[in-house]
Structure 1
Amino acid sequence: MNNNKTLRKYVITAHSIIACMVVLIYTALVNIYFVNGLDEGNFQDLHLEAKSFTQAYNNNKQPEIPNSIHFKGFINWQSVPAQIKKYFPELEFASQLQMHSKRLNLEGLPMSWPEQVIFVLAQPLNDGNIFYLTRQIDIETYQALSKNNIKNMFKLTWPLALLFLIIMHLYVHFILKRTMRPLHHLGTWIDNLTLNNVTDPIPDFEFNELKKIAFQQQKAMLRISDVLDKEQAFLRHASHELRTPIAVVKSNAQLMERREDNPKNQTSIERIKRAALNMQHMTETLLWLSREDENEKLIISDINISDMIKHLLEDNQYLLQGKTVELNFEIDELTLKLAPTPCRLILNNIIRNAFQYTAQGNINIYFESKILIIENINTGKTEFESENSDYGYGLGLQLVDKIIRKMNWQYENKQILGGRKVTIDFR
């Protein structure tokens, strides 16, 4: 399939083929009508000469049998030359007026210019005899005149054909220019169509078909805008609504922690605090992603990645309780100028994901030269080893993908033996 095909090339190619076919067909028709016209003219001459002779013969005027450079007449079949008998045997017993012709081509060249043309008329007479009138045209006799006529025919036919092709091409180019201009206008309008200007009036594209395409494109963009508005509204509302109960849970957990010394109560309080912390991180992520202004200038500050990672490891340590997991990390003490919120959201989601999906094995965290690598490896048989598992692709990492794209950082999340390896390049 040709990916470089354009409407302009397609129309010009189709037009050229059709125009050439029309020229060839009409040229052939002109030739056919020309030859048939010559035949009809000769038959008319034969018919008029034979009519004059038969009328006089039937009235017993004993007219002279035609014998000239143009016509030769014969009474009865026996007097007809052998060549006529050879090519027109069906005229021996003619019962009514008949006219036939025969073109004799050069030997072995059936499609060549005829060497000789023979016209024969058979007219029954009142006394039972048959009058035959013939005309033989030898091309050699008329060679000079024939060549001149042929040249004149070509001089007239091919210039007309060329003129026709030129007119057709000019007309098609005019039509293409007339139609491609609004098409290019439509393409430019669609390229520049955004959610910000989708409600602007549709420009005039001249043709109803193009106007319908533009209208359908605008409707599709409006539907997308409506879906995005609903999604962002839901995220904003849900995030804001959740912040209040999260704050209540955290504050009450702190009060219970001060008043109760029972270890069982203390365990429950820790669970409440961790759940509240997870909900807080998730709502912050959703709220940050739902901001309408994609070009909003983020607050950049100096961030100690080592401190941030250590705090997040402590926050998510509860996910490793009851598991045989060895945590290894080598983190450079490095301060980077980054946006704090998206950086913390990304790191928290990846670390939590690694902790959650490692039942037995190792978790390795490396940070060097602005490149962070987090990999988790399950060494024992776990439920995460199923080939159809969506391990490593929960809601958290889906949000990470969106944040990474928004921040234009380099990101790789690939499956390795027993787990996954995530690489983030903050450069």
Structure 2
Amino acid sequence: MAPTWEEVPAVIRDQFGSVPEQQNELIKIFNPERNGERRSIDFIFAYDQDGDSAYVTFRVSRDTVSAMVRSNTLALHHKLWMISATIALSLSLIIWLLLSRISRPISRLVVWTRSLTPQRLKSQPPDFSYPELNQLAQLIRNSLSSVQESLDREHLFLRHTSHELRTPIAVIRNNVELLQKLQARDEHQSEHQKQVIERIDRAPVSR
């Protein structure tokens, strides 16, 4: 900004030649390339300042445009970097929230599976928020229930078998004892008969 016409740069004054008559109006002059000087555009704006004319001037050339382009490029690069960083952080947060939301039901499923007992198998699985996890929990429950039913049947069979065999085993034991007493009285009993009685005596014990 120049408060007087004399303080306006000489190159600008040479281009305009005289004091602009219009005030509060932007005037420009295009300067073609000549005498080794590059093309440029000169701007001058005259306005009233306390009753006197003041002037604002500016020259646009390839050098100033290049500087402006570099400045705008740096500013744009900074903005792009900030936008990219913001998007990356937002995506990371969204992915973390999704993984956290998915991992909680999975953790609940693992804890539920580890805590299953024959009594808890009789009740339905809890809701794990996702149909796929609910189906998996139902499959686990059905599989373990089938295994538990097989074990229950086997235990029941063993209890019944043990009860049914208790009397025959007792009878065999009593008869073996009786044979052993008779054997002690019979001095002519063969070695083969002794082995048979010993095998019968050992059989209930091994059961």
Question: Residue 202 of structure 2 aligns with which residue?
Answer: 277
**2: CA distance, partners of 1:139 / 1:226:** 90
Question: Residue 208 of structure 1 aligns with which residue?
Answer: 131
Alpha-carbon deviation of 1:232? 2.0
Deviations along 1:165-213, one digit per CA (max 9) or x if unpaired, are 1211121122122211111111111111122322122111010111111
Letter in 1 for 2:117: T
Question: Residue 147 of structure 1 aligns with which residue?
Answer: 70
* Unaligned segments of structure 1, at least 5 residues: 1-67, 70-137, 283-427
1:249 touches 1:273 (CA, 8 Å); kept in 2? no
Letter in 2 for 1:196: Q
Report whether the alignment pairs 1:264 with 2:189: yes
CA RMSD of aligned residues (A): 2.9
Alpha-carbon deviation of 1:147? 0.8
Alpha-carbon deviation of 1:258? 4.7
Deviations along 1:344-401, one digit per CA (max 9) or x if unpaired, are xxxxxxxxxxxxxxxxxxxxxxxxxxxxxxxxxxxxxxxxxxxxxxxxxxxxxxxxxx
* Unaligned segments of structure 2, at least 5 residues: 1-30, 33-60
2:105 touches 2:128 (CA, 8 Å); kept in 1? yes
More strand by share: 1
Give the alignment's TM-score, normalised by structure 1.
0.31
CA distance change for structure 1 residues 154 and 167 in 2, over 3 Å: closer, same or farther? same
Question: Residue 166 of structure 2 aligns with which residue?
Answer: 243
More helix by share: 2
Question: Residue 160 of structure 1 aligns with which residue?
Answer: 83
**1: CA distance, partners of 2:145 / 2:125:** 13
Question: Residue 217 of structure 1 aligns with which residue?
Answer: 140
Letter in 1 for 2:193: S
Letter in 1 for 2:113: I
CA distance change for structure 1 residues 224 and 187 in 2, over 3 Å: closer, same or farther? same
SS state at 1:264 partner: coil
Question: Residue 190 of structure 1 aligns with which residue?
Answer: 113
1:250 touches 1:272 (CA, 8 Å); kept in 2? no
SS state at 1:195 partner: coil
Count of paired positions: 148
1:202 touches 1:214 (CA, 8 Å); kept in 2? yes
Q: Percent identity?
A: 27
Give the alignment's TM-score, normalised by structure 2.
0.60
Letter in 1 for 2:202: L
Question: Which structure is larger by alpha-carbon Rg, 1 or 2?
Answer: 2
Alpha-carbon deviation of 1:160? 1.1
